Amino acid sequence: MAGHGPSLTADLAVRRMQPADLPLVLAAGDLFDDAPRPDMAARFLAHPDHHLFAAIVDGQLIGFVSAVAYLHPDKPVELWINEVGVRDDFQRRGIGRRLLQAMLAHGRVLGCGSAWVLTNSGNRAARRLYAACGGEATPAARHGDGVIMFSWRL
């Protein structure tokens, strides 16, 4: 949208982060809840069941979605979406949607039967994002306060 933060002068790239992308992840410390720890970030990026997609503009990470392929002994693999974050000055431009759609598509490639994420009922931005990407809210949570689970059949 025009007038909502810096322009996207370079092409916006959305891609899965690999171990070689560690410096890019570490440089985006303000995007995460806490500054990424080099040892834990390297371990996350190298782990085959942990997935991080990033939105990159002009060589900087401006958004991400993280997820884990969650294994069960008696069920198909599920994709647990942990978090979606977009830098404040890039919000409301469809970046979160592109990131989440990329992660859901990746879940399908991984053979996940479903994906799910939890959010608080007061987090309207997250609820709008998950619904816009086809997530279905748990029926009981639609009417109450507290935690809401959104899920997708993959």
- For the chain, the domain total comes to 1
Where residue 28 sits, what CATH number does that domain have? 3.40.630.30
Q: What's the first-to-final CA gap in the chain, in angstroms? A: 30
Over residues 53-81, mean pLDDT:
95
In a domain, 3, yes or no: no
Gyration radius (Cα) of the chain, Å: 16
pLDDT in tens, 7-37: 554 589 999 999 999 999 999 988 999 999 9
The answer to whether the beta carbons of residues 63 and 96 sit under 8 Å apart is yes
The answer to whether the beta carbons of residues 27 and 60 sit under 8 Å apart is yes
In a domain, 4, yes or no: no
Residue identified by tokens 């690999």 is 18
In a domain, 88, yes or no: yes
pLDDT at 91: 92
Amino acid in the structure at residue 49: D
In a domain, 117, yes or no: yes
In a domain, 127, yes or no: yes
pLDDT at 143: 54
In a domain, 95, yes or no: yes
In a domain, 29, yes or no: yes
How many other β-carbons are positioned within 10 Å of the β-carbon of residue 136?
Answer: 14
Distance (Å, whole) CA 94 – CA 53: 15
Structural domain for 40, as ranges:
13-153
Distance (Å, whole) CA 151 – CA 108: 14
pLDDT in tens, 110-140: 999 999 999 988 899 999 999 999 999 986 5
CA angle 10, 96, 25 (to 5 degrees): 65
Distances (CA, A) of 47 to 17, 18, 59, 69, 92: 11, 10, 24, 10, 31
